[in-house]
Amino acid sequence: MAKMTYIKAITSGLDQVLSDDPKTLIFGEDVGKNGGVFRTTVDLQDKYGEDRVFDTPLAESGILGLAIGLSLTGWRPIPEIQFMGFTFEAMDGIVGQLARDHYRFGGQKNFPVTIRTPFGGGTHTAEMHADNLENYFVSTPGLRVVTPSNPYDAKGLVISAIESDDPVLFMENLKLYRSMKDEVPDDKYTVPLDSAKVVREGTDITLVAYSAEVNEALTAADALAKDNISAEVIDLRSLSPIDTDTIYASIDKTHKVVVIQEAQRMAGVGAVVASDIAEDKIMSLDAPIGRVAAPDSVYPFAQAENDWIPNSDDIEAKAREIFNY
């Protein structure tokens, strides 16, 4: 067991699967000698050779085409899309092709592709680098979408994603890459692909969040605790599918819920969670479902990011409002 950053935990998971399964391949822009622009694949080319870890020409649709074609010839591809904003260039590959191919063949062929891509605000990137674009992908049948909020889950989830025979979009939060450390086992372990986790137990209100907003929710829960409001915090981990069982069990206990996301409020993950709760658990609720999300503008110019991204104060305020309803 070692203390590891979120990014090191992902590298450790990739190292593990490359070592376990000779059919796994990592490829993308700059992932080879350079080890990725964030160094997520650092040293992996040296260790496993250029045949297994290799650079591609600069074209995201081509990268997805490679992934699909390599699946058809028996490989287990792990493409990287350098920033999530660049997935727009691969939209047909991901949504039009990859997610549908297993279905199109009537289940006869598998496309075990894990697309890794960094996203998330707060690091003052150039435009189109930080957007939370998960809402485009969670409405895609056939595609799993997961995103860890901490180093332990990062390693376990990336291994599960790659071992899955379904295509998985693995979203890595830019702000978390080096901002937190956790105890992470050196050996192989997995985190299930379709399960949320209660990361803080509580009895008065449930805060449902994912990725960097989990940490904001935990900070808010600390503040609420000072006033004897006991908040339970759930990390979704999987955005498609949503583990409603874990959320419902918590609501049965707290009877109050706030759903939190960094993405714009319109449509999206939080709306789905809120609608599921409304459909299945409305009789268990003592207050309206609260929502915390970014406003419905285009992702902000970097200097104003902190005014735009929902933070622990926003979550705390909404939680008090719902708690006191």
| 185 forms part of the interface with other proteins (CB under 8 A) | no
Minimum CB separation of residue 298 from other proteins in Å reads: 24
Determine the interface stretch with other proteins among 71-79, 256-264, 291-299, 314-322 (rule: CB under 8 A): 71-79
Using the rule CB under 8 A, is 139 a contact of other proteins?
no
Strand residue runs (E) in the chain: 2-5, 24-28, 53-55, 76-80, 114-119, 144-146, 168-173, 181-184, 197-200, 205-209, 231-235, 238-240, 257-264, 290-294
Task: Using alpha carbons, select from 169, 193, 166, 163 the residue that is nearest to residue 103.
Answer: 166
CA-to-CA distance for 224 and 291, rounded, in angstroms? Answer: 17
Residue 76 in the binding site for other proteins (CB under 8 A): no
- Work out whether 50 is an interface residue with other proteins (CB under 8 A): no
Q: Phi and psi of 70, rounded to 5°?
A: -65, -35
State the Cα–Cα distance between residues 139 and 322, nearest whole angstrom: 28
Q: Which residue has the tokens 């004897």?
A: 228
Looking at residue 294, the DSSP 8-state letter turns out to be: E
- Report in angstroms how near the CB of residue 139 gets to other proteins at its nearest: 13
- Residue 129 is among the residues annotated as catalytic for this protein: yes
By three-state DSSP, how is residue 136 classified? helix
Query: Interface mask (CB under 8 A) for other proteins, residues 236-275, using x and -?
Result: ----xx-xxx------------------------------
The reply to whether 303 sits near other proteins by the rule CB under 8 A is no
Residue 279, interface with other proteins (CB under 8 A)? Answer: no
150 binds other proteins (CB under 8 A): no
Q: Which of 2, 49, 69, 128 binds other proteins (CB under 8 A)?
A: 69
Q: Are 235 and 273 in contact (CB under 8 A)?
A: no
Among positions 3, 34, 103, 203, the unique one binding other proteins when judged by CB under 8 A? 103
Return residues touching other proteins (CB under 8 A): 25, 51, 56-57, 59, 61-62, 64-75, 77, 92-93, 96-97, 102-108, 110, 141-142, 144, 164-166, 194, 240-241, 243-245
